[in-house]
Chain A
């Protein structure tokens, strides 16, 4: 009898402990938004297709802390921001999905972003440094698929253990986008390609 009572008494506690030990998965719910803080610049006279791939849309980062997992679906934000960024750099931009152009459209080059790496380090102490790092690989290829330019841009933000993952991710993404704008617009290989395209 007393054993049964003990079981009944400790069963909820055991269940709670198991639940706590199992940890939780948290999904960052921040909706993708467009970054608007680009530098104003003269646009390159080129019609470019921005290729949003399924792989990009699925890209996500995972942050593990004390058994909990925070998932940051960065792919959606990149897919939203890649065309916006391209419009800052190129005169004409067409959005593509998985390499397919919209009907009756043609482009001189195709710009494809890919999230090469995303992580957030775990701080050892509450006030310790936690780094969010995102690396995005940009590939610009001509209409035949020949690579004109490729570069991997690194963006990061630094917070503490208590910093919200979505805030750090957004800050790192802003960093990536600003650096990407500079890298694409200043790339000599792209400028040469633009010159060759001009009549």
Chain B
């Protein structure tokens, strides 16, 4: 049973001034007590004690709070006045025994959240230092620890039995909670989010593909929520973003092709509106700077997209969420289609992000249009993919 005993040491409680006329003291609060050992998790969260000088009497007050989940009782305690001149500690005239047994151990600290206060000792002069030591044990151990304690009546025995059952239930809940937490920790909870790399097939393997002058371009709008979640770890459709995969392969023996991002757009056939800088528009809450630079993060940092798409302001959320938000944002940017020049045999791939109003997913006919330039001849070849988008759930 000894491993269930925990001492709380509360140092401090210095008396800085004492009104000689009235005998009233003015002191500062002592340090919160700390558990001496971590063996018993049940009492780990006991708040410990704080001490101060009574505003009405020349006494040192001790206040303890059971901030744990389990009933506790105090079995012993003392207050030691540190005698500065003698450089040693002597037991004060007034001890904590009356406080612990009468107030703390007896009733007040039995229930979680309860606070007990009592007089620690008499103050005799300024500059006095006190060292408090209290011992607490789980309430269920009280009977076993105190064989000389009075036998409970039938009624109190029934109450104790109910109380023990409640404690057992609490322990079971604690055990299952701890196990779940550990499982979550090791599964994914407390590690940096991992995202899958973008792997694509050949451009010609996509249902919608086209070949012109040796350049093959294939596209695939991603409308399946599960597929989107697997790839981006966030429901982009729910955030008002439709990802469209574009894969291009230069199968020409000698020609190069320039695929500039600003020359690739998604057009709504019904409204005639086009969008070429989709991810920029996702983060366009910052205004004109994005549109003029066409840059998403430069000068804005990773917060903007995370806030816009993930909806998590990094500064105000937990580290795990902030980490996940930053990884999601990076993953979005990393998988985006960027401008590139395809030499013979080269391949380019990435997503275009088409923004639509939240709550009204795109449906109907859209056109993914790409103007691709041969830098040697200066000729531009247009690719136009009509896409019938029907969002799935």
Contact = CB atoms under 8 A, between A and B. Distances in A.
Nearest to A189: B256
Contact of A23 (B315, B343, B376): B315
A64 B322 contact: yes
B329 A119 contact: yes
Contacts of B193: 124
Interface centre among A122, A146, A147, A193 (most CB of B within 10 A): A122
A189 B260 CA distance: 14
A188 B343 contact: yes
A122 B322 contact: yes
Interface in A30-58: 55, 58
Contact of B327 (A66, A114, A118, A121): A121
B376 A192 contact: yes
Contacts of A59: 295, 298-299
Given A116-B295, A149-B375, A124 B338 contact: no
A189 B343 contact: yes
B9 to A, nearest CB: 24
A23 B316 CA distance: 11
B132 to A, nearest CB: 22
A188 B326 contact: no
Interface in A117-153: 117-125, 128-131, 133, 135, 137, 139, 146-152
Contact of B338 (A115, A120, A135): A135
A123 B341 CA distance: 34
A189 B376 contact: yes
A189 B323 CA distance: 40
B301 interface: yes
Interface string A6-21: 0000000000000000
Contacts of A188: 256, 343-344
B256 A64 contact: no
Contact of B315 (A64, A125, A137, A193): A64
B320 A124 contact: yes
A188 B324 CA distance: 40
Nearest to A119: B302
Given A123-B192, A124-B320, A151-B341, A62 B300 contact: yes
A87 interface: no
B299 A64 contact: no
A2 interface: yes
Given A64-B315, A117-B295, A128 B375 contact: no
A113 interface: no
Contacts of B55: 2
A67 B192 contact: no
A147 B299 contact: no
A62 B338 contact: no
B190 A125 contact: yes
A62 B375 contact: no
Contacts of A62: 300-303
B334 interface: yes
Nearest to B345: A188
B192 A187 contact: no
A157 to B, nearest CB: 13
A152 to B, nearest CB: 4
**Which among A124, A133, A148 has the highest number of chain B CB atoms within 10 Å?**
A124
Nearest to A72: B301
B297 interface: yes
A155 interface: no
Nearest to B189: A124
B175 interface: no
A101 interface: no
B301 A61 contact: yes
B373 interface: yes
B182 interface: no
Contact of B343 (A150, A152, A187): A187
Interface in A177-199: 187-189, 192-193
Contacts of B325: 122
Nearest to B259: A150
Nearest to B334: A133
B296 interface: yes
Interface string B280-307: 0000000000000101111111110000
Contact of B192 (A55, A66, A121): A121
B42 interface: no
A67 B315 contact: yes
Given A64-B322, A121-B192, A189-B376, A58 B258 contact: no
6 contacts: A71-B301, A115-B298, A116-B295, A117-B333, A124-B192, A130-B192
Given A124-B192, A125-B192, A147-B375, 16 more contacts: A2-B55, A65-B322, A71-B301, A116-B295, A119-B333, A120-B302, A121-B323, A124-B190, A129-B192, A133-B333, A135-B333, A149-B258, A149-B375, A150-B339, A187-B256, A187-B341
Q: What are the 8 tightest A-B residue pairs by CB atom distance, in nearest-first order?
A: A62-B301, A152-B338, A124-B323, A189-B256, A128-B192, A188-B343, A122-B326, A64-B314
